Chains A and B, each alone.
Chain A
Amino acid sequence: MKPSLQVYLDYQATTPVDPRVLEAMLPWFSQSFGNAASRNHAFGWEAEKGVEEARKSMGAAIGGSGREIVFTSGATESNNIAILGVAKMYVPKGKHLITCSTEHKAVLDPMHALEQDGWEVTVLGVNEKGHIDLEELRAAIREDTVLVSIMHGNNEIGTLHPIGAIGAICREKGTLFHTDATQTLGKEAIDVQAMNIDLLSASAHKIYGPKGVGMLYVRRRNPRVRIAAIMHGGGHERGMRSGTLNVPGVIGFAKALELCLANREADQQRLAALRDRLQQRLSAGLTHVHINGDPDNRLACSLNISFEFVEGESMLMGMHGIAVSSGSACTSASLEPSYVLRALGIGDELAHSSIRFSLGRFTTAEEVDHAADLTIATVLKLRAMSPLYEMAMEGIDLSTVKWGGH
């Protein structure tokens, strides 16, 4: 294969570490390498000081305090601690949890694990744009509901949930509210006080920080949220998460968030403009395209789009050098397309035909144009060999055809 221009448009999967973040981290590997839990020498004090400063700035960045930040290995762990830890601690109140169908597996799977242990989980459905019905949420909250977990921004379709309104409902009904803000920290405005957020998960590698570091915000006042440890050991992070802290990672995470927030609104506007440019080019160059999610209320970086009559994986194969992801599951053993797209009720065929483009800090207009051109060329080529396109052009309504299936 001839080498072609490499364009990374998968920033929702992960991001490169910003050079400024790397620079901030470097001294903490070999120079200031102490264990932040070493209380009796200068190496430990230095590491602890660095971690505490990071904690403080990150707490303040979301309207909380440093003492409310627990460092973890990533958002998967944060979600697990939040859900399993709250569940274990609040058993006397009840055994009911609420979430929604488009959450990340790192929320859904701990909930399913609790179901095996006799918990009841209400999974709210979403509409075509990926939104839950707030009245349905309100009605679902019961006396014995201990936690509502609804994500802020969806990782596949970018839909932004109104977490302020959700937080208000949870507060009014007296249940705890956790939000997975992995896709929104540093991008969307977050204020745990104004939004009544009790627990919040995030991860460094989605915001130009290193992989393997995450955080969990745990509210300390009004109400004081208590969490049973999942990881037992040395009692680090006020007993909520034992294990020696990843000091360079924590420093990098704080630096990454600081950089995101320094220019947040302008950055997001730039990304939205680039994303809209990509969307417009694709829509102008091709017929039969569908935007998945909520076009009016989504992450600035995110474009999830289905190209009717062509299958996602075959598109990826033609888009040489363009790194994107697809909701088609032809790559997995299951043959099932993305459960997030299925939850929208758009039909499995469109789910198989979807591509997620996600833009970021280092994306340029040239890259967007190149990606759009290559995508259009690939879709046209594949449509020319698609029996579905041929049938649709003959005027056959594909939904009325009796298919054999597998």
Chain B
Amino acid sequence: MVYSDKVIDHYENPRNVGSLDKDAMDVGTGIVGAPECGDVMKLQIQVEGGVIKDAKFKTFGCGSAIASSSLATEWLKGRTIAEATAIRNVDIVEELALPPVKIHCSVLAEDAIKQALADYQNKQKGASAPSED
């Protein structure tokens, strides 16, 4: 497999590896993929006043999966929730020059972003209205 320079750079120098407190009210967590499929991504955001202040990832997967999630955290930082929602997997494919067999890595990253955002938004809803279950 021949990797683009950007994939290699993210693999060699991954940005924002780590974990945030998943129980904190201002943190949203997305975990997507499955070990049997060879990819699991955990992506977390910390939000303050509608803006993503911090983002962290941990990924089990190939170099392109690691690069996709690393790039996602870079892009998420400083964006508003609405701006973050607009990130599409094709943007990741383009930025990292992913070949067709690696497109699923970018799809997974988009899913992880969506899940993290949804988790954060659910927590906010839960805080304003008592949970029903």
Contacts and interface: CB of A to CB of B under 8 A. Distances in A.
B34 A333 contact: no
Interface string B113-133: 000000000000000000000
Given A337-B38, A349-B35, A330 B62 contact: yes
Contact of B36 (A313, A330, A349): A349
A interface majority secondary structure:
loop
B33 A386 contact: no
A135 B93 CA distance: 52
Contacts of B38: 311, 328-330, 335, 337, 348, 352
Which of A313, A390, A406 has the largest number of chain B CB atoms within 10 A?
Answer: A406
Given A349-B36, A387-B31, A406-B33, A314 B11 contact: yes
A332 B62 contact: no
Interface string B95-111: 00000110010001001
B30 to A, nearest CB: 10
B104 A335 contact: yes
Interface stretch (A193-201, A246-254, A397-405): A397-405
A388 B60 contact: yes
B61 A385 contact: no
Contacts of B66: 314, 385
Nearest to B35: A349
Nearest to B101: A333
Contact of A390 (B37, B58, B63, B104): B58
Nearest to A334: B101
B105 to A, nearest CB: 9
Interface residues on A, range: 20 to 34
Nearest to B14: A385
Contacts of A329: 38
Given A317-B11, A403-B40, A388 B35 contact: yes
B59 A317 contact: no
B63 A317 contact: yes
A354 to B, nearest CB: 11
Contact of B37 (A314, A317, A347, A405): A405
B78 to A, nearest CB: 22
Contact of A386 (B34, B58, B62): B58
A209 B57 CA distance: 48
B127 to A, nearest CB: 25
Interface in B27-47: 31-42
A82 interface: no
A385 B37 CA distance: 18
Given A348-B36, A385-B17, A404-B33, A314 B63 contact: yes
Interface in A18-56: none
A377 B28 CA distance: 31
Nearest to B38: A352
Interface in A303-354: 309-311, 313-314, 317-318, 328-333, 335, 337, 347-349, 352
A165 interface: no
Interface in A371-406: 384-390, 398, 403-406
A328 B36 contact: no
Contacts of B39: 311, 330, 406
A331 B58 CA distance: 21
Contact of B60 (A1, A311, A335, A404): A311
A285 B40 CA distance: 25
Contact of B1 (A331, A385, A388, A398): A331
Contact of B61 (A311, A348, A398, A403): A311
A390 B42 CA distance: 11
A317 B17 CA distance: 18
Nearest to A349: B35
A331 to B, nearest CB: 5
A386 to B, nearest CB: 5
Interface in B68-118: 100-101, 104, 108, 111
B20 interface: no
Given A314-B61, A314-B62, A406-B104, A388 B40 contact: yes
Interface in B1-18: 1, 3, 8, 11, 14, 17
Residue with the highest number of chain A CB atoms closer than 10 Å, among B8, B31, B62, B104: B62
Interface of A: 1, 309-311, 313-314, 317-318, 328-333, 335, 337, 347-349, 352, 384-390, 398, 403-406
Given A349-B35, A398-B35, 15 more contacts: A313-B63, A317-B11, A333-B100, A335-B104, A352-B38, A385-B17, A387-B31, A387-B40, A388-B35, A388-B40, A403-B35, A403-B40, A405-B34, A405-B36, A406-B33
16 contacts: A309-B60, A313-B62, A314-B63, A317-B63, A328-B38, A335-B37, A337-B38, A349-B35, A352-B36, A385-B14, A385-B17, A385-B58, A387-B40, A404-B32, A405-B33, A405-B36
